[in-house]
Amino acid sequence: METKTSVNSLIIINNDRFEGYKKAAEETTDADLKALFNRFSEQSKGWAESLRVFADKDEPGHDETTLSGKVYRVWMDIKSAVTAKDRKAILSSCEYGEDVAKKTYDEVMEHSDSLPAEIMDILRKQRSELQQAHDEVKAMRDSIK
């Protein structure tokens, strides 16, 4: 997989994650979820920006998302769950979204032998933090009876 293609796919997944959590934070009235969603949204924005230096200039765009497929459906599921005020469903959808993001990172890292060490270091750090975010969401979801 080409370096710029790999980096672009991660920027886009982080743009998706940023937009999804931003929308979820706007929709929820639960203060703890709002704080969590805002933190994860900003986390993704930062990750995308740190990767952008390795991508083509202005590609992908700062607001470019997949707007199709699994990731888009995840954020729509989150919005529906927030509207219904179903915390367990919200967190389940968030966990699924984190799984999609982790899978994207894993695929890029596994199939990108040509990625420079500098990029791989960034990806390993981001992937580790993504796992922590996933685990935090999962723990919150599992604590609901």
Range of the domain at 15: 3-142
Q: What is the CATH number of the domain that holds 128?
A: 1.20.1260.10
94 versus 45: the higher-pLDDT residue is 45
Q: What is the pLDDT of residues 11-52, one digit of tens each?
A: 988 988 888 888 888 878 889 999 999 999 999 999 999 998
Q: What pLDDT does 22 receive?
A: 86
Cα gap 52→92, rounded to integer Å: 30
Q: What pLDDT does 115 receive?
A: 85
Number of domains present in the structure of the chain: 1
R_g over Cα of the chain: 15
Q: pTM here?
A: 0.83
Q: What is the pLDDT of residues 100-111, one digit of tens each?
A: 899 999 999 998
Cα gap 44→102, rounded to integer Å: 12
Cα gap 62→91, rounded to integer Å: 26
Cα gap 107→127, rounded to integer Å: 11
Supply 24's token pair: 């979820």
| β strands within the chain, DSSP E | none
